[in-house]
Amino acid sequence: MNPWRRTAEALLAGGVDALQLREKHLTDSELLRRARLLRQMTTEADALFIVNDRPDIAVLSGADGVHLGQDDLPARAARRIVGPDLVLGLSTHTVQQAEDAVEAGADYIGVGPVAATETRGYAEGKGIELVRRVCSRARLPAVAIGGITEQNARAALDAGASGVALCSALCGAEDPELAARRLRAAISRSG
């Protein structure tokens, strides 16, 4: 079995409620095959499935939504591809970008990076304070992104985030299922 598939299965077994496919180096046909398999896995686990950057792959795989960065296809163009029923998320790094995402028709925003992260190449994070400022002004659910760990996830939620997104802390863990369970326990604790 492929390592990515083992990791996805472990994360779903550990209780994650959403998976995002973010893969920049696959051919389109392989990306679609992987997306369809992840869609099947997340459906069986009653979890959401989001495709990063690619509204076409999101539609073709039956994903729940697509997530875009600031340099990706504009939100309005992506909405024409995915239609009104798929979830559209946008990464934001400033209060202004978050407010622009509301106007662009996003359903939720990613806010960050909260801390430095090699996954996206951010040498510095913008801190929990950015999450607090954006959540106090934006009229959309906000997911804290970038450098989120078991140690800072609860603080991001306490700052107003509706959820947290992790990559390295879960996918890079020696035991992704255990890491997911520990994260769920950490964010379940009252602030």
Question: pLDDT by residue (tens digit) across 89-120?
Answer: 999 999 999 999 999 999 999 999 999 777 66
In this predicted structure, the answer to whether residue 155 has a pLDDT above a threshold of 80 is yes
Distance CA(95)–CA(108), nearest Å, equals 14
For the chain, give the mean pLDDT: 94
User: Which pair of structure tokens corresponds to residue 111?
Assistant: 């806010």
Per-position DSSP letters for 136-181, written without gaps between them: HH-SS-EEE-SS--TTTHHHHHHTT-SEE--SHHHHTSSSHHHHHH
Which position has the token pair 């559209």?
88
pLDDT tens by residue, 138-148: 889 999 999 99
Domains of the chain (ranges; CATH) run: 3-188 (3.20.20.70)
Distance CA(73)–CA(70), nearest Å, equals 8
Assign 28 a pLDDT band (cuts: 50, 70, 90).
very high
Q: Which of 61, 60, 53 is nearest to 36 (CA)?
A: 61
Which position has the token pair 């430095």?
116
Phi, psi (deg, nearest 5) at residue 68: -120, 150
pLDDT tens by residue, 43-87: 999 999 999 999 999 999 999 999 999 999 999 999 999 999 999
Phi, psi (deg, nearest 5) at residue 176: -60, -35
